[in-house]
């Protein structure tokens, strides 16, 4: 199974900050990496698919990069509605696997 490791596990940031979350795969997964946002009590929502493609309707302050084993999710200017937990997920192979999550909290 491919293990997905996110860092950090949590972070505190202020509105307007630039935030970067990283995700590392235990083996090469090309561009088969997706990012999700989840708010308490709600289903996850896809932000980025294919490592860098912005899902329709997602604000352009979200961006993704990387390939192979190392990936990054960047929020260019954190907004109040962005405080949530973020997960990466590989769609390269079965079983599909998620990172452990990164909780973005208000500083």
Token couple for 10: 């949590």
Counting contacts by CB under 8 A, is residue 5 touching other proteins?
A: no
Of the candidates 19, 23, 25, 34, which one interacts with other proteins according to CB under 8 A?
34
- Sign, Cα dihedral of 71, 104, 98, 61: negative
Neighbours of 60 (CB within 10 A): 7
Of the candidates 36, 62, 66, 73, which one interacts with other proteins according to CB under 8 A?
36
Of the candidates 62, 73, 97, 104, which one interacts with other proteins according to CB under 8 A?
97
Given a contact cutoff of 8 angstroms between Cβ atoms, the answer to whether 85 and 98 are in contact is no
Token couple for 69: 């084993």
Given a contact cutoff of 8 angstroms between Cβ atoms, the answer to whether 23 and 5 are in contact is yes
Of the candidates 16, 43, 80, 107, which one interacts with other proteins according to CB under 8 A?
43
Counting contacts by CB under 8 A, is residue 91 touching other proteins?
A: yes
Counting contacts by CB under 8 A, is residue 22 touching other proteins?
A: no
Counting contacts by CB under 8 A, is residue 37 touching other proteins?
A: no
């Amino acid at each position: 199974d491919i293990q997905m490791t996110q860092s950090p596990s949590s972070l505190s940031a202020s509105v307007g900050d630039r935030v970067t979350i990283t995700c590392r795969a235990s083996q090469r997964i090309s561009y088969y990496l997706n990012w999700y946002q989840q708010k308490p009590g709600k289903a996850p929502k896809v932000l980025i698919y294919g490592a860098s493609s912005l899902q329709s309707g997602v604000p352009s302050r979200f961006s993704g990069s990387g390939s192979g084993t190392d990936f990054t999710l960047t929020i260019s200017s954190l907004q109040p509605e962005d405080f949530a937990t973020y997960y990466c997920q590989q769609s390269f192979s079965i079983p599909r696997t998620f990172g452990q999550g990164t909780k973005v909290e208000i500083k």
